[in-house]
A and B are shown apart, each in its own frame.
Chain A
Amino acid sequence: MAKVRIQTVRKSYGAMQVLHGIDIDVADGEFVILVGPSGCGKSTLLRMVAGLEDISAGTVSIGDRVVNHVEPKDRNIAMVFQNYALYPQMTVAQNMGFALELAGVPKAEIKQKVEAAAGILGLEPLLGRKPGQLSGGQRQRVAMGRAIVRNPQVFLFDEPLSNLDAKLRVKMRAEIKALHQRLKTTIIYVTHDQVEAMTMADKIVVMQAGRVEQIGTPLELYDHPKNIFVAGFLGSPAMNFIEGTVSHGPTPQLRVSETLSIPLGEIPTSVRNRDVILGVRPEDVLPGEPGGIPATVLVVEPTGSETHAALQLGRQTITGVWRERVSVKPGYHISLKFRQTNLHFFDPVTKERLQ
């Protein structure tokens, strides 16, 4: 186990810079997830930690050692790839023991370690098979077994669940989390799936266009997103954004248009008398008593456990998620209220959060 420190790391391919000075501290035994849209540089950063990409500037340290010029095999890391990267001609046991074999570990010891790792992942019956004879989930587990056998200081996962179907993904998510709780090894995990990030991470790093947008625990990021990007990226369905002007007066209101005003409760002074973007999570859009915010129901999507509704609010569409079963139908005119304690305000120009 070891901490990982990424300091002002930059990456350029020729004149094109893809990472613009990244700083991340990963504590010993922490499960950190790098999340962001495609092309944000998260995989590149992970590959730099692995030693598969050169570091253009800055330093990466694992433990107390700067590893910028250390070969991947000497970094004491193990990596699980999106497409598993199992050696096709080797059996599961050979795949898992390959690193130890190359390191010159005695055969008996390799066998013992492979069997121990196979035991953790329930792979014992598959040890003699080849990757081609395994299902996607089994292959993923073998790839993890190959990482575990080496007993590395840091596990690196590069979108490991992207190739699995939805049901298996949920199962493997729980398995990886359980594995981390059991082994307590530092994990850096890359995904574009914000649900994976929210459910598994101790700490989430949200990235966009080669920059870190925000670092924090899943709930910190969910409850206090630093800017509109983070607010919109985490959470499903995504946060609703409503542009307007906060008017002065005895009861603060967000004036959206000539005809639409949204009553606001207690608001910070920094938000008064200015243009803002109001952020409301779908679960904070509540069906209200008559006289609230007028809206028209456009689409109703019952998922069983909850109901999603697309609602016309003035000129824009917002989403509401309700745990209770509601008997609304498209075309209904309903009245809404927003949960006042959970409102987010952002600057329309800088897109930053207003405190």
Chain B
Amino acid sequence: MTVLKTEAFDNAAIAAPPRDWVLVGLWIALAMVAVLWVAPFVFIIFTSFKSTAAVMGSSAFAPPTNPQISNYVAAWSRGRFETTFTNSAIITVIKVPLGLFISAMAAYALARIEFSGRKMVLVLILFGTMIPFQVMLAPLFTLVNGFGLIDTYPGVILPYLAFGIPYQVFILQSFFRGVPKELTEAARIDGASHFVIFRRIFLPISLPVLAALCILDFVATWNEFAMALVLLQDQKMWTLPLGLSAFQGQFSRDYGQLNAAIVMTVLPAALVYLIFQRYFVSGLTSGAVKG
């Protein structure tokens, strides 16, 4: 009897769960997509450390045998990164938080404050997301020029705000509408004004959404090219993407330096992503209300 029991137990232990082929397929697909996305980065980073001779002489994906830090130093000074990096930083650091704050306030008003014409305002804002900015480039130039703001920070920050806010308002508005109205009401009874409700309750609750929008907006603003090209004529006011474009023409043969410049351009956006991505983990509102 005992022998029988042991056998039964052993058999049960040996029997493996059936393989889930769908899962296997998904993992293979994931790995392939990941390779596809990572490959260019590997190429850029490897190349940024190679001398011109090494670039020409070795495979594109071969690791650098003799890493050249000098590429970065040279690219920094020859690409006038001091100027372009500062310009990009100033524009982005002002535009992104300011835009998010304005969008969030507008979204709160549209979601939570009753006033006549509310739907009309929302439709107008939505309309703003439908216009491709390329068609607006010429009138935009005329407008900014009319204000005398060409080659100034406000001259580029204001149009960035105008084109960035509508879709942020749209996303935040629908998020705020999902916040239980009892939270607003409880706060009103507790004596909070709309601004206090917005700042103390809605902003903290919407951190995951704001973080996501912040990342998207940061990357979009940091990499923006077309509008900056039209509105910033003076090289002293150029942003990183503009600097990078000039780079390619000037040093078209020095792929090492070009890629070093690309790495330096992309790095801040990647850092911002790494900092904010943990806020993506939502569930912050869990426990506010039952359900």
Contacts and interface: CB of A to CB of B under 8 A. Distances in A.
B283 to A, nearest CB: 8
A139 B189 contact: no
A89 interface: yes
Interface string B164-192: 00000000000000001011011111111
A72 B189 contact: yes
Contacts of A72: 185, 188-189
B191 A103 contact: yes
Given A52-B185, A79-B185, A86 B288 contact: yes
A73 B192 CA distance: 8
B290 A136 contact: yes
A71 B286 CA distance: 29
Contacts of B183: 85, 87
Contacts of A131: 287-288
B76 to A, nearest CB: 42
A88 interface: yes
A133 interface: yes
B191 A89 contact: no
Nearest to B289: A83
A49 to B, nearest CB: 11
Interface string A45-73: 00000111000000000000000000111
Interface in A225-251: none
Contacts of B25: none
A139 B186 contact: no
A52 B59 CA distance: 71
A78 B283 CA distance: 28
B195 to A, nearest CB: 12
Given A85-B182, A89-B204, A50 B189 contact: yes
A79 B183 CA distance: 11
Contact of A79 (B189, B191, B289): B189
B284 interface: yes
B253 to A, nearest CB: 55
A84 interface: yes
Contacts of A265: none
B205 A88 contact: yes
A121 interface: no
Contact of A85 (B186, B196, B204, B286): B186
B191 A163 contact: no
Interface string A87-120: 1110000000011001100000000000000000
A88 B286 contact: yes
A77 interface: yes
A78 B284 CA distance: 26
A79 B288 CA distance: 16
A99 B287 contact: no
B287 A163 contact: no
Contacts of A133: 287
Contacts of B186: 79, 81, 85-87, 146
Contacts of A150: 190
B288 A77 contact: no
A83 B180 contact: yes
Contacts of B188: 51-52, 71-73
Nearest to B182: A85
B285 interface: yes
Given A73-B191, A88-B205, A130 B185 contact: no
B291 A85 contact: no
A50 B288 CA distance: 21
A85 B190 contact: no
Nearest to B201: A87
A98 B201 CA distance: 11
Contacts of A73: 188-192
B138 to A, nearest CB: 46
Given A78-B189, A88-B285, 6 more contacts: A52-B185, A52-B188, A79-B185, A84-B290, A85-B183, A132-B287
Top 10 closest A-B pairs, CB basis? A132-B287, A83-B289, A73-B191, A88-B288, A85-B182, A99-B190, A89-B204, A131-B287, A85-B186, A102-B191
16 contacts: A72-B188, A73-B189, A81-B186, A82-B182, A83-B180, A83-B182, A85-B185, A87-B200, A89-B201, A102-B190, A102-B196, A130-B287, A136-B290, A139-B290, A146-B186, A150-B190
